[in-house]
Structure 1
C-alpha cells in the first residue's frame, strides 16, 4: 500500500537531502503532481531566478507610472499585465532583466531612440528609488546576490534594439555607464548595426561595418551581446567577432516553429553553445508552438462571424459570455509542457549549460501558455522539469548559473581591457 506524505514535510525532507555538489537522493519523477509542485515552490524561493526579458518599463510608460499610484503601481498586485512585486515573490522571480525597448519606427527620427532609452532607464531607476524595500537596481551578478539576500527584486537592464546607439560608437560606453548590461542588436527592422530576423529587407546580409565595431566595443566595455531578433547572418557575424560568450535573451527553438527565423535553428543553437553562450527560452505562444497562430486565427474568425450573425458588438455582455465559453472550449494556447519541450530540445542538442529563461512577460500580450500566464507561475515550469527527471542542480543552472557564467565572463574580459 502506498504511503502518503505530508507535502510540506516532504518538501523539507527533499531539500534537506540535497547538499551542494551532491545529487538529489529523491526521485522526483515518482512523486505526485501536488508533491512536485510544493517542492518546485521551495526551489523557486531558495534559488536565484533570472528572467532575461521582461517588458515592464514600456508597460509602465504606456500605463502612466506615477509616484501617487494613480495609474500603474507594480509594488502591489495589478489587475492586468504579467509582472508585479507580489506575483514575482510568489513565483520566486528575483532578477527580471528590465527591457529598455526601443520601437523600430523611431529609427526614422534621429535622436528619438536614444531619448526614449534614457527615459525608460530613468523610469526603472525611479521604481527602485520609490520602493527601496522591494526593488533594487543591479549591475552585476554580485548585486543580484546581495539583493536576493535582502529579499529584494533586482532590476538589471537590457536594451532591446541597438538603434538607441544612433550612429555614435561612444554611446556603447555611455549606456554601460547608465546601467545597461546587454544590448539586443536589432529589433523588428534592420538598423545601423545589422539585419533583423523580422525584416524582409537585408541591408548588409549580416552585420554592417558599424555593427562589427559595436560588437567589439560591447566586449570592451562589458555589455553582453544579445542575438535575439537578429537575422541568421547577423547571428553568425556576431559570433565570429565576439571575444566572449553571447546570449539570446528571449528566443526559442525553431524546431517547433519551422520557418520562423526569429527563433533559433539547431545550427545556431550549436554555434552559440560552441561560443559558451546561453539561450533564454521565450514563453510566447507563437514562439513555442507553430499551431498557436493557426488556432487563434480560427477562434478569432469564428467570433467575428458570430458577432455579425447575431448583430452583437465586443462590448455586449452576451457576446463576452459566449466568447469566453467558446475560447475555453477551443483553447488555442500551448501549455507549460511545451516550454519544457524547448528546454528538453536544447538540453538534448547541446547540454544543460546553455539554457536560461527569457519569458518576454509584458511583451507578448495574451499569447502566454496555460500554466505560465504571469510571473507567479514559474514553479509550474520547475515542477514540469522535475517530472521529466531534471535535478535541482540542472534547474539552478537554468534559473541563474548559466547566465551568471556569461555575465561574469563579459565582466572579466572588460576588466582586462582597462
Structure 2
C-alpha cells in the first residue's frame, strides 16, 4: 500500500470527516445505537507490515479508534491473513501468530478503547465505556497445516471464524480463484477441519471458496455457516469469487448469513471482470518465466507484471449505490435475517466506493438503506444482529 503524502493525508481526513458528518441525523443516531459488526477488516497484516497506533488517528489506514467510534462500529473482526506464498514457504503459522500478537498489542496499549471479544455473550459488558471490541477471523486456513490440533490452539488465541482458503487451492479446499481445482471441493482433510471447527465453535467461512467447496461445507457442517466478505454474483456474472444466488440461498436455508463486501473489485462489474481476467494473465506470465528459466534466460519480475496490469486496468470509481444494490438484492433473495456486512477495509488498497472509504462511514450506508425503504429493525439485523445470532448458534452447538 502506498503511503500518501502529509498533504494528501490531511485532505483525506477532511474528506472522510465530511462524508461521515454529512449523513442525516437519523442515520447517524441509528449507527450509534445499533450494534455494528464488520466481519472483515485487514488491519492486522498492515500492523505487522508497518506499525501504526490505531488507538489514535491513523490516517494512512481505514480502521482506527476515533473513526470507528464516529461510524458507530462496535465489533471489528480483525482478519488474520496469510498469503498462499506463506503456505508454500512454511511461514503461514508464524505470520498468523504475529498478527494476533499485533492485535493484542493494540489492545494492551489502549485498554480503555479496545478489548478482545471471544464470545458474543461478553459483548454487553466489554462494550461499556465506548470500547471497540476486536474479534479474530483467520483468512486462509494455511496456518493449520496438516495438524487438526492447530484449530484448538488458534481457538484458544481467540480465532472465531476461518476462511478455509484464499486465492489458491490449499490442503483444505479449492479456491474460487484457482484456474485448476485440486480437490473438486473440500479435501478429505478439509472435511475433518469443518467437523472439528463445529466441535470447537469456530464459524466456517466460505468466502473465497470454489462453488463445489461451498456446497461441500454446507453438506458437512452441522451448524450455520457464514460468508465473511463476499459479493453477489448476480451483478458480476462468471466471477466465482462472489456467491451465486443458489449458493447464497443454501447458506440462508442452513441459518447462515452472507456478509456483503464493499470493495470495488467485488461490487463493480468492470472491476470484477478485470480481477477475474488477472489470474489467467498472471498464470501465462508465470509460464513464460518458467520457459525463460529453462532456457537459462533472465526472468521478468512479478512486480513488473503487476504494475503494468494495474496501469492497464485502473479500478473504476464506484458509488455507494453499488453496495446498496447488493444489499437490496440479497434482502429480496434471502430475507433480512441472512444479510450482513464485511467491508474489507484495509484489504483492497483503498479501492472503495465513494461514501464508504473508512470505518467512519457506516452512517452513510445506514442513510442509503433508510432512503431505499429498509426498516430500522431490518437495518439493525444487517448491521450486526444477524452475525451475532449465527455466532451464538455456533457457540451453543459447540457447548452441547
> Which bin holds the TM-score, normalised by the shorter protein?
0.7 to 0.9
Tell me the equivalent position of 2:38.
51
Q: Which moved more, 1:178-187 or 1:146-155?
A: 146-155
Kept in 1, the 8 Å contact 2:356–2:365? The answer is yes
Within the alignment, does 1:235 sit opposite 2:214 as a pair?
yes
CA distance in 2, matches of 1:147, 1:390: 30
Tell me the equivalent position of 1:334.
318
**TM-score, normalised with respect to structure 1:** 0.79
Tell me the equivalent position of 1:21.
none
Tell me the equivalent position of 2:290.
none
**Pairwise CA distance, 1:276:** 0.7
**Pairwise CA distance, 1:109:** 2.3
**Pairwise CA distance, 1:150:** 2.5
**Pairwise CA distance, 1:53:** 0.2
Kept in 2, the 8 Å contact 1:36–1:387? The answer is no
Within the alignment, does 1:213 sit opposite 2:192 as a pair?
yes
Within the alignment, does 1:131 sit opposite 2:110 as a pair?
yes
CA distance in 1, matches of 2:22, 2:192: 52
Aligned partner of residue 366 in structure 1, secondary structure: coil
CA RMSD across the alignment: 1.7
Aligned partner of residue 249 in structure 1, secondary structure: strand
Aligned length, in residue pairs:
342
CA distance in 2, matches of 1:139, 1:133: 17
Runs of 4+ in 1 over 4 A off after TM superposition: 293-296
Tell me the equivalent position of 2:361.
377
- Report which of the two structures shows the higher radius of gyration computed on alpha carbons: 1
Tell me the equivalent position of 2:5.
none
Can you list the C-alpha shifts for 1:107-158, whole angstroms capped at 9, x where unaligned?
A: 1123x11111111111111111111010100001122222223310000000
Within the alignment, does 1:108 sit opposite 2:88 as a pair?
yes
Aligned partner of residue 230 in structure 2, secondary structure: coil
Aligned partner of residue 183 in structure 2, secondary structure: coil
CA distance in 2, matches of 1:238, 1:201: 20
CA distance in 1, matches of 2:124, 2:41: 19
Can you list the C-alpha shifts for 1:297-350, whole angstroms capped at 9, x where unaligned?
A: xxxxxxxxxxxxxxxxxxxxxxxxxxxxxxxxx993211111111000011111
Kept in 1, the 8 Å contact 2:264–2:315? The answer is no
Within the alignment, does 1:81 sit opposite 2:61 as a pair?
yes
Within the alignment, does 1:407 sit opposite 2:369 as a pair?
no
Can you list the C-alpha shifts for 1:253-273, whole angstroms capped at 9, x where unaligned?
A: 011111111000001111101
CA distance in 2, matches of 1:385, 1:246: 25
Within the alignment, does 1:366 sit opposite 2:346 as a pair?
no
Tell me the equivalent position of 1:303.
none
66, 70, 86: which one pairs with 1:90? 70
**Pairwise CA distance, 1:36:** 6.7
Q: How does 1:1-400 map to 2 (within 5 A)?
A: 37-63=24-50, 65=51, 72-110=52-90, 112-292=91-271, 332-400=316-384
**Pairwise CA distance, 1:86:** 0.7
